[in-house]
Amino acid sequence: MSHTKSKILIHMVFATHERKPLIVGELRPDLHAYMSGAARELGVFLHALGGVEDHCHLVFDLPPKLALADFANQLKSNTSRWAGRDFGWQRGYGAFSVNQSSLDRAIQYVLQQEEHHRKQAFRDELAEFLRVHGMDADSEFIDGIYTPDPAA
């Protein structure tokens, strides 16, 4: 793929299982460092990583050889194993395209999550992301509560 050129900028967000406030104290910098290393091992260039007690945001360049779902699954499963048995992530994630001209703004947004969430709840943040990107909201994504479909 030496003649492949791509610039796939993504803003990804995912929460802890049931939105539990698990990313606290010394775990946060250690978790973020581990996540940064795991992203690098997968060939992903991470522009920014931030978050609060119950969720993480990442802005990154996705290499053309790696599917977005594979990156999310590997990152989440590796960090869950690393963090220990009482730690887990929600099912799924949100991923939104970022254009080059908005990259700096997306990076600042991710790096200022603590300040941002003093003004806006995570639930409202997710609903706004979906609205801006023309996507429908669903209760599992917004509230983090998985309810299996009895018909499935």
The pair of structure tokens assigned to 95 is 């991923």
What is residue 60's predicted lDDT score, i.e. its pLDDT?
Answer: 98
Token reading at 152? 């499935």
Give the domain CATH number at 100. Answer: 3.30.70.1290
Question: What residues are paired with 45 via a beta bridge?
Answer: 61
Residue at 127: amino acid letter: A
Name the band, by pLDDT with cuts 50, 70 and 90, for residue 43: very high
- pLDDT-wise least confident of 54-58, 95-99, 140-144: 140-144
The reply to whether 2 falls in a domain is no
3 lies in a domain?
no
Residue 132 belongs to some domain of the structure: yes
pTM of the model: 0.90
Domain count, the chain: 1
Domain annotation covers residue 45: yes
Q: What is the model's pLDDT at position 14?
A: 95
Amino acid at 58: L
| Segment (H or E) for 12 | strand 9-15
In this prediction, residue 3 has a pLDDT band, given cuts at 50, 70 and 90, of: confident
> Cα–Cα distance between 152 and 142 in angstroms, integer?
22
At 76-88, the pLDDT tens digits run: 999 999 998 899 9
> What's the domain range around 97?
9-143
